[in-house]
Amino acid sequence: MQANGAGQDQDRDSELSCRNGAQNGESSSSGDAAAAGDAHSNGLLSVTNNNNNNGVPVQPGSNNSGNPAEASPGLKKKKRLSQSEEDVIRLIGQHLHDLGLNQTVDLLMQESGCRLEHPSATKFRNHVMEGEWDKAESDLNELKALMHSPSAIVRMKFLLLQQKYLEYLEDGKVLEALQVLRAELTPLKYNTERIHILSGYLMCSHAEDLRVKAEWEGKGTTSRTKLLDRLQTYLPPSVMLPPRRLQTLLKQAVELQRDRCLYHNTKLDGGLDSVSLLLDHACSRKQFPCYTQQILTEHCNEVWFCKFSNDGTKLATGSKDTTVIVWQVDPETQQLKLMKTLEGHAYGVSYLAWSPDDMYLIACGPDDCSELWLWNVQTGELRTKMSQSHEDSLTSVAWNPDGKRFVTGGQRGQFYQCDLDGNLLDSWEGVRVQCLWCLNDGRTVLASDTHQRIRGYNFEDLTDRNIVQEDHPIMSFTVSKNGRLALLNVATQGVHLWDLQDRVLVRKYQGVTQGFYTIHSCFGGHNEDFIASGSEDHKVYIWHRRSELPIAELTGHTRTVNCVSWNPVLPGLLASASDDGTVRIWGPAPFLDVQDADGLTECCSMDS
């Protein structure tokens, strides 16, 4: 990372960087001869120890060996600090200053021969923090010559006068505030819209009312510190460092390491207190959902689909055995127990969709099924059993975000929009639907069809457009929460990631075996950074979204894995449904000291 202000050699060499006469912390010969009680130029007393140092500070120029023959400063050569070394010293100095260790800062600057900031900036800072607005305004004339954009002075002056105006108002000095507004702010002819807003604050009845309407902290250190942070943005970093610059750089480093971490699957903490800066960030694969926590065996035939509810508290599984089983997720133990069994789906259940509020669950069957079932999950009652025609094939369904409508269709050319009672609201003729999805705008429905494409359909203005075109049949697809990315399972090709906004193929994920069976993949993990898919080779594959090669292959199923679902609330919980009649629940390894978690093959890193 490159610190701000690097490359401004002219400013630094002239007056902003290390002082030439300081000799990088070396004392003059007369200073070395001075008594131990003599003071440094910054007012700090130096301390010497003739026997040993043992952590006690020594005079600049003294020698840690304690040998007088080696203590002569004349034997030392001044080391000229590089640009990056100067930057680091200033960053450390700023951080120490923010911690209140001002004497340490003075000593650091004296020994290094550097300045924390330009003297004019220091004076300006002090005047702002003390509320001496006339002096601060005068300081701007000195700073103007040091700025890359002198026109920014007007903006800085405006910010100063605005603070001055608000403080007068808070103190009840309405006439003084009005004078600032009329005689100082208005003549600047800058941001007249803001001036109109400021004039409205004259009507505030009391100080609290002013603070609320102005969204201002009030007179004092907090508001003045925020003001100083804004003013600094107009000054070169060689004159005044950006606020908390060292913390900013450290946060960027931590975020970059987390971003590159192959198995990072927890919420990003914006602060530094939750991490150690002494070690690089690294998540263990044993913290990742690669270990079989539970095997659900209640289905008595092939399990074709599984889906966690939107709130993550339930899992629904559909099977060839004509049943849907709803499982309750214990958020503490992350164990699942049978909650309800929904029966009567004569053709089996090949697709499930939770309503946005998780109150209802819609079940669809395979190609020869002309019905869909809309269940009330809480009561276990069938609200609607819908069929428009015995010739229909209703194999896919998607909820509108409003939770009051859904779309359904199949490969025989049916494409309907219905209400919760199964009443037909709209229909689109001649579209052979393989899979459906409703976007967050509430108007656009995405549908993959038999022409190896995904098209967007608008039921309001009856328009449609092509979005994705593949060269092979799209067996299924799902869309990310933000509606930007689509994950496709493509016959004989595997898993493809598309950007729906730019309409481009982003990535082809390797490893999975995909023929002409319908396999459902999913986004998952924190921030949907991961992708999981079933496979015809009996495995579950997991990729980091930015890596084409799998980071884990989960073994345990004995036949094709038809569907995977990642818990949207518990990022360490993953479910997979298989033709072997079981549903496996995957989670982190139970014992983090186990060398290799059962059922896990670790693959390449993201950078390979």
Parse the chain into domains and list their residue ranges.
117-240, 285-587
Listing DSSP states for 443-454 in one string gives SEEEEEETTSEE
pLDDT score at 175: 93
The Cα 585–Cα 293 span in angstroms is: 6
CATH number attached to the domain at 285-587: 2.130.10.10
pLDDT score at 31: 37
Burial letters for 442-457: b for 16+ Cβ neighbours within 10 Å, e otherwise?
ebbbbbbbeebebbbb
The length of the chain is 608
Count CB-CB contacts under 10 A for residue 50: 8
Burial letters for 354-378: b for 16+ Cβ neighbours within 10 Å, e otherwise?
bbeebbbbbbbbbeebbbbbbbebe
Q: Are 266 and 526 in contact (CB under 8 A)?
A: yes
Tokens, residue 304: 């074709």
Q: What is the CA radius of gyration of the chain?
A: 34
**Cross-strand partners of 295:** 584
pLDDT score at 61: 40
Q: Which H or E element spans position 98? A: helix 83-98
Which pTM does this prediction carry? 0.70
Q: Is 144 left (phi over 0), alpha (psi -120 to 50) or beta?
A: alpha
| Collapsed DSSP state (helix, strand, coil) of residue 420 | coil
Pairing of strands 474-479, 485-490: antiparallel
The Cα 278–Cα 253 span in angstroms is: 12
Sheet holding 522-524, edge to edge: 522-524, 530-533, 540-544, 552-554, 600-602
pLDDT score at 34: 36
Q: Are 314 and 329 in contact (CB under 8 A)?
A: yes
The Cα 397–Cα 352 span in angstroms is: 8
Residue 118: closest CA among 256, 269, 241: 241
Phi, psi of 340 (to 5 degrees): -150, 150
Q: Which of the 8 DSSP states describes residue 525?
A: S
The Cα 323–Cα 220 span in angstroms is: 67
**Residues contacting residue 404 through CB under 8 Å, at least 6 positions apart:** 419, 420
pLDDT score at 283: 77
Count CB-CB contacts under 10 A for residue 295: 12
Pairing of strands 424-427, 433-438: unpaired
Listing DSSP states for 431-476 in one string gives --EEEEEE-TTSSEEEEEETTSEEEEEETTTTEEEEEEE-SS-EEE
The Cα 468–Cα 91 span in angstroms is: 50
Burial class (CB in 10 A: 0-12, 13-18, 19+), 214: buried
pLDDT score at 57: 40
Listing DSSP states for 498-522 in one string gives EETTTTEEEEEE-S---SSS--B-E
pLDDT score at 476: 95
The Cα 342–Cα 151 span in angstroms is: 72
The Cα 146–Cα 126 span in angstroms is: 18
Q: Which of the 8 DSSP states describes residue 82?
A: P
The Cα 505–Cα 18 span in angstroms is: 53
pLDDT score at 59: 40
pLDDT score at 77: 52
Sheet holding 372-376, edge to edge: 351-354, 360-364, 372-376, 381-386
pLDDT score at 594: 40
How distant, in Å, are the alpha carbons of 25, 41, 72, 102 from that of 111?
3, 11, 17, 14
**Cross-strand partners of 564:** 576
Phi, psi of 197 (to 5 degrees): -65, -45
Phi, psi of 299 (to 5 degrees): -75, 150
Provide the terminal-to-terminal Cα distance of the chain, rounded to the nearest Å: 23
Give the residue ranges of the chain where pLDDT is below 70: 1-78, 268-271, 591-608
pLDDT score at 554: 96
pLDDT score at 17: 42
Burial class (CB in 10 A: 0-12, 13-18, 19+), 353: buried
The Cα 498–Cα 478 span in angstroms is: 11
The Cα 184–Cα 159 span in angstroms is: 12
| Collapsed DSSP state (helix, strand, coil) of residue 381 | strand
The Cα 282–Cα 284 span in angstroms is: 7
How distant, in Å, are the alpha carbons of 30, 368, 449, 477 from that of 415?
94, 16, 11, 17
The Cα 430–Cα 418 span in angstroms is: 17
Q: Return the ∠ at Cα 335 (arms to 332 and 340), rounded to 5°.
A: 115
**Cross-strand partners of 120:** none
